[in-house]
């Protein structure tokens, strides 16, 4: 489908109130472009070890709103036909009203036609079935080939929020799980995302998985992937919260009960996580970490040793590193 894009140049401090105001007149789903520095929480929720380079924040922001365009050129807002001129007039009136008590900056509006794209599903063209050694990872919209029916198969739909297993860091952890998962073992997955690591562990014979994540979107993502892989609800429990500093989450997760803890997250998050997570691990448990750039390998290995764990091995793929340790 086609969309009209209305892009407003404003100031960062006016973002929220403009979004709220235009939401009230039927414009939803704002795209925000600014250079506001990332918060500590936002950094924790990013599954990369090098954060994006951002320009210096000069207070400028761009808010883009998208309105569906019918084949006859009419725009559809709240299910009602309208046109670009009417929307422009309405938006300008709202912005001028806001100027009376708020510095909204330039307040100029650009109108562009977007490409004819199904945004919800367009990303699927980049996710095809692939192998991690002898494990085949398949999205729901692809058929499993006849010659692959006897393989270990994971059906994973990442949605728009989480990873697919294609990234080197995830593959590093999957290979470690293949080494250390034993029949019936208990696994804790910190930073669960799509649930791919927990589901892999269950397919390999683990008895039960607990996942934690900061993003509430992980709950439906994991649920959908559990169902796609015929994983019973009771085999994989999810909870939202920060296990590093939230005692309630730590208590819910439990102490000295896990045979394996997997954490595919930022090196800078692994450092404060490691001395906490040792309390969730049984004696003899393995701690499998990834999401670590090779330049930060020593930072994580040092954190592991300082927490009283024994370094077992370091594995690498490209510029990424996985550190595995044991609680003796």
Annotated binding site: 170, 191, 213, 264
Annotated binding site for S-adenosyl-L-methionine: 170, 191, 213, 264
**Does residue 150 fall inside a structural domain?**
no
Q: What is the pLDDT of residue 34?
A: 82
Report the alpha-carbon distance of residue 318 to residue 136 in Å, rounded: 21
Helical residues (DSSP H) of the chain, grouped into ranges: 15-24, 40-44, 84-99, 119-122, 168-180, 196-203, 218-228, 247-253, 267-277, 297-306
Note the pLDDT of residue 122. Answer: 59
Q: Which of 117, 135, 154 is the last residue of a domain?
A: 117
Backbone angles phi, psi at 322, to 5 degrees: -120, 130
Rounded distance, CA 148 to CA 129, Å? 11
User: Residue 226: which CATH number?
Assistant: 3.40.50.150
Q: Which residues of 261-286 are buried (b: 16+ CB within 10 A; e: fewer)?
A: bbbbbbbbbbbebbeebbebbbeebb
Quick one: pLDDT at residue 54? Answer: 57
Angle at the Cα of 269 from the Cα atoms of 268 and 271, rounded to 5 degrees: 75
Task: Tell me how many domains the chain contains.
Answer: 2
Q: Which residues, at least 6 apart from 275, have a Cβ–Cβ distance to it below 8 Å?
A: 303, 306, 307
Q: What is the pLDDT of residue 205?
A: 97
pLDDT of residue 295: 87
- Residue from 185, 202, 193, 204 nearest 166 by CA: 193
Q: Are 16 and 104 in contact (CB under 8 A)?
A: no
Ramachandran region, residue 295 (left: φ > 0; alpha: ψ -120 to 50; beta: rest): alpha
Angle between helices 297-306 and 267-277 (to 10 degrees): 10
Q: How far apart are CA 83 and CA 140, in angstroms?
A: 38
135 in any annotated domain: no
> pLDDT truncated to tens, each residue of the chain (328 aa)?
678 889 999 999 999 889 988 888 888 778 888 877 666 555 554 444 445 555 677 889 999 988 888 878 788 887 788 989 999 999 999 999 999 888 999 999 999 876 555 555 555 665 677 888 888 888 877 788 888 888 899 888 765 445 556 678 889 999 999 999 999 999 999 999 889 999 999 999 999 999 999 888 889 989 999 999 999 999 999 999 999 999 999 999 999 999 999 999 888 899 999 999 999 999 999 999 998 888 899 999 999 999 999 999 999 998 889 999 999 9
Q: Quick one: pLDDT at residue 49?
A: 46
* Whether residue 107 sits in one domain with residue 249: no
The answer to the question of residue 95 being in a domain is yes
In a domain, 195, yes or no: yes
Q: Which domain holds residue 265?
A: 162-326
Mark whether 315 and 204 lie in a shared domain: yes
Residue where the block lists tokens 């750039």: 293
Range 219-257 burial, b when 16+ CB lie within 10 A, else e: bebbebbbebbebeeeebebbeebbbeeeeebeebeeee
Residue 11 lies in a domain: yes
- For position 15, which CATH number holds? 3.30.70
Q: Is residue 151, in this structure, part of any structural domain at all?
A: no
Query: Taking the model in full, what pTM does it have?
Result: 0.68
Give the strand pairing for 80-82 and 75-77.
antiparallel
Q: Are residues 176 and 77 in the same domain?
A: no
The predicted pLDDT at position 311 comes to 98
Looking at 117, 143, 170, the residue that finishes a domain is 117
């Amino acid at each position: 489908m086609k969309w009209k894009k209305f892009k407003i140049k404003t100031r960062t401090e006016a973002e929220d109130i403009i979004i709220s105001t235009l939401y009230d007149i039927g414009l939803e789903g704002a795209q925000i472009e600014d250079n506001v520095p990332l918060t500590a929480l936002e950094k924790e929720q990013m599954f990369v070890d090098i954060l994006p380079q951002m320009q210096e924040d000069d207070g400028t922001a761009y808010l883009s709103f998208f309105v569906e365009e019918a084949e006859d050129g009419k725009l559809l807002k709240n299910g009602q036909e309208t046109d670009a001129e009417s929307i422009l007039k309405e938006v300008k009136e709202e912005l001028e009203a806001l100027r009376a008590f708020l510095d909204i900056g330039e307040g100029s509006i650009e109108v562009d036609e977007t490409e004819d794209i199904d945004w919800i599903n367009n990303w699927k063209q980049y996710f095809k079935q692939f192998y991690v050694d002898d494990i085949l990872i398949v999205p729901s919209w692809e058929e499993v080939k006849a010659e692959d029916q006897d393989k270990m198969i994971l059906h994973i739909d990442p949605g728009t929020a989480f990873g697919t297993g294609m990234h080197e860091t995830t593959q590093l952890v999957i290979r470690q799980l293949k080494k250390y998962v034993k029949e019936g073992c208990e696994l804790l997955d910190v930073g669960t995302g799509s649930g791919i690591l927990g589901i892999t562990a269950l397919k390999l014979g683990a008895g039960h998985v607990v996942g934690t994540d900061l993003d509430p979107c992980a709950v439906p993502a994991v649920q959908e992937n559990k169902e796609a892989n015929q994983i019973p609800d009771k085999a994989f429990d999810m909870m939202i919260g920060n296990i590093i500093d939230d005692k309630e989450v730590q208590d819910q997760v439990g102490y000295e009960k896990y045979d394996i803890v997997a954490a595919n997250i930022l090196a800078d998050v692994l450092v404060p996580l490691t001395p906490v997570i040792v309390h969730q691990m049984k004696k003899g448990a393995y701690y499998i970490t990834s999401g670590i750039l090779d330049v930060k390998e020593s930072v994580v290995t040092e954190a592991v040793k300082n927490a009283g764990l024994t370094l077992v091995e370091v594995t690498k793929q490209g510029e990424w590193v996985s550190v595995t340790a044991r609680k003796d």
